Amino acid sequence: MVVMEPIDLPIPAWGADGTLRPLGKLAVHRQGLRHPAVSVFVLRGQEILIQQRAAGKYHTPGLWANTCCTHPNWGEPPADCAVRRLGEEVGITGLDLRHVGQVEYRAEVPGKGEMLTEHELVEVFVGEAGWPLDLELDPAEVAAVRWVSLDALRSEIAAKPVAFTPWLRIYLDRHAAMIFRSSEIAGSV
């Protein structure tokens, strides 16, 4: 399934006056406005499914990230958004996701010809996958996926941090205990 997500699509964001309103996605990132987001980690035993963002993405193209991440549509509950985007980006459906917490971060991210700012209030979800797991990648969103252990991922990030999205680095550095606390990976945290 290929679902295009235009960069001028309105997403919920808090304006300077603190009011949540629909604003264009690119404008939100240019202004560094705080906005709701969703991140999903799909686990299989001791491994995490990570994705390489497509080369055509308007920010962080080609960088490795968690299984999927996005912004909810206006009025869309975070859990519904997580299920929707997991299906749209990597083709995973029918996986039970559990909400593990909320993270707020602010980071500069490379965009197409300009630096942008992610200032997200993120609802984090985790799902445990089994075998077989059929994937159908949306090439407009995802260039590649791979399974990796938490220890190997941390080693890769330490060796070449610029190959990974700022938010994945933040999640693993500051929030790994929350994200992986009730999984087989918990012993590696």
Would you list the DSSP string of 15-47? -TTS-EEEEEHHHHHHHT-EEEEEEEEEEETTE
**What ranges do the domains of the chain cover?**
10-182
Burial class (CB in 10 A: 0-12, 13-18, 19+), 157: middle
Q: Does the pLDDT value for residue 4 go beyond 60?
A: no
Residues catalogued as catalytic: 69, 120
Average pLDDT over residues 160-167: 98
Report how far residue 71's alpha carbon sits from residue 44's, in angstroms, rounded to the nearest whole number: 25
pLDDT tier, 130 (very low <50, low <70, confident <90, very high otherwise)? confident
User: Looking at residues 104-113, what average pLDDT do you find?
Assistant: 93
CA distance 166 to 142: 17
pLDDT of residue 184: 74
The segment with the largest mean pLDDT, out of 78-82, 133-137, 177-181, 185-189, is 78-82
Query: Considering the chain, what percentage of its residues have pLDDT values greater than 90?
Result: 82
According to the model, what pLDDT value does residue 16 have?
83
What is residue 6's predicted lDDT score, i.e. its pLDDT? 58
Mean pLDDT value across the chain: 92
- pLDDT at position 2: 37
Q: Please tell me the distance from the alpha carbon of residue 14 to that of residue 182, in angstroms, as a whole number.
A: 32
Could you tell me the two tokens for 43?
């686990």
C-alpha count within 13 angstroms, C-beta hemisphere, residue 48: 27
State the pLDDT confidence band at 7, using cuts at 50, 70 and 90. Answer: low
For residue 131, is pLDDT > 70? yes
Q: 28 with 11: CB under 8 angstroms?
A: yes
49-84 per-position pLDDT tens digit = 999 999 999 999 999 999 999 999 989 999 999 999
The CATH number of domain 10-182 is 3.40.50.150:
no
Residue 5 has pLDDT above 80, yes or no: no
Q: Spell out a b/e string for 2-32, using b for 16 or more CB atoms within 10 Å of the CB, else e.
A: eeebeeeebbbbbeeeeeeeebbbbebbeee
How far is the C-alpha of 10 from the C-alpha of 103, rounded, in Å? 22
pTM greater than the 0.85 cutoff: yes
- Out of 2-16, 101-115, 168-182, which region has the weakest mean confidence (pLDDT)? 2-16
Identity (one letter) of the amino acid at 144?
A
